[in-house]
Amino acid sequence: MTLQARRIYILPTRSGLVAAGLLLIMLIAGLNYSNSLALLLCFMLCGVALVSMHECHRMLRGLRLISARAEPTFAQRQGELLLGFENTASHARPALRLRVAAVAPRSFELAAHSSCVARVAYQGLARGRQRIDRLHLSSDAPLGLFRAWTWLHLPLEAFIYPLPLSLLPLPPPAGACAARKNGRGCGLSRIAIRRAAWPGRPMRVARNCWWRITMRRPARSACSHCTHCVPCRWRARSHSWLSGCSNVNAAARITP
């Protein structure tokens, strides 16, 4: 695909409008005071602006698009488009910008008689196949007084995967609990892993399970350096409760 002149649009930028206003003021002042040097400078700058407009239009004219590919992504995430451009002209093409819809543009440049692969981001919407309608390619080289742009209508389709669930927090490190016996921790990591395995399972079931396991073991005091360990607090409370109620059979209370 080669960009033709009739598909390229060009308009002055904000800097170009300011420069046009200054040239108009300079022209009026030169005519009012009959200053030949001011008129000469005004006409020279006008010539530079016209050459700049021609060069800006030539930055896109004749540019070839040789490949296009859309990388898959997740829903509501940004993916990448890989577009290959080739410059067959004898002049470089700097300050090229490429963007898709409302995503921030990516800038790249092409040397004379060279090719490159430009990467541009796109926004993934719903899962399934998403069609990329059009791409915006522009350039404001060489002076930034004019901006030339064109629209690339390509048959691109991206595959959008379903949005994954949010990652659950990892279990605490091995040194989080100070109480250890026979190489086994105090139980906080097991509760974290059990909670991560069933995100929708109520914690009441896990608490009852760990309460039975803790009560059937010999009573131990809580960790001296562990203030956030829930099983250790359960063990401490159960030990104090059993010591205050000596006439109560603990096994009868534990067994369902």
Q: How far apart are CA 147 and CA 88, in angstroms?
A: 22
Per-residue b or e along 47-69, where b marks 16 or more CB atoms closer than 10 Å to that residue's CB: eebeebbebbbbbbbebebeebe
From the number of C-beta atoms within 10 Å of its C-beta (0-12, 13-18, 19+), residue 15 rates as middle
Q: How confident is residue 23, by pLDDT bands cut at 50, 70 and 90?
A: very high
Antiparallel, parallel or unpaired: β 64-70 and 106-110: unpaired
**Which two structure tokens, joined as six digits, stand for 196?**
């991560």
Q: How confident is residue 225, by pLDDT bands cut at 50, 70 and 90?
A: very low
For the cut 70, the answer to whether the pLDDT of residue 210 exceeds it is no
Q: Which helix (H) or strand (E) holds 17?
A: helix 14-33
Q: Is the model more confident about 9 or about 248? A: 9
CA distances from 3 to 66, 86, 150, 153, 216 (A): 11, 11, 8, 12, 79
For the cut 70, the answer to whether the pLDDT of residue 236 exceeds it is no
Residue 67 near residue 82, CB atoms below 8 Å: yes
The predicted model gives 120-144 an average pLDDT of 90
0.75 exceeded by the pTM?
no
How do residues 161-203 score in pLDDT, each as one tens digit? 988 776 556 666 665 554 444 444 444 444 444 444 444 555 5
For the cut 50, the answer to whether the pLDDT of residue 91 exceeds it is yes
Q: How far apart are CA 84 and CA 98, in angstroms?
A: 12
Antiparallel, parallel or unpaired: β 93-99 and 114-123: unpaired
Closest residue by Cα to residue 101 from 159, 163, 156 = 156
Percent of the chain scoring above 70 in pLDDT: 64
Question: Across the chain, what does the average pLDDT equal?
Answer: 76
Q: How confident is residue 133, by pLDDT bands cut at 50, 70 and 90?
A: confident
How do residues 104-127 score in pLDDT, each as one tens digit? 889 999 999 999 999 999 998 888
Residue 256's contacts (CB-CB under 8 Å, 6 or more residues apart) are none
Residue 132 near residue 158, CB atoms below 8 Å: yes
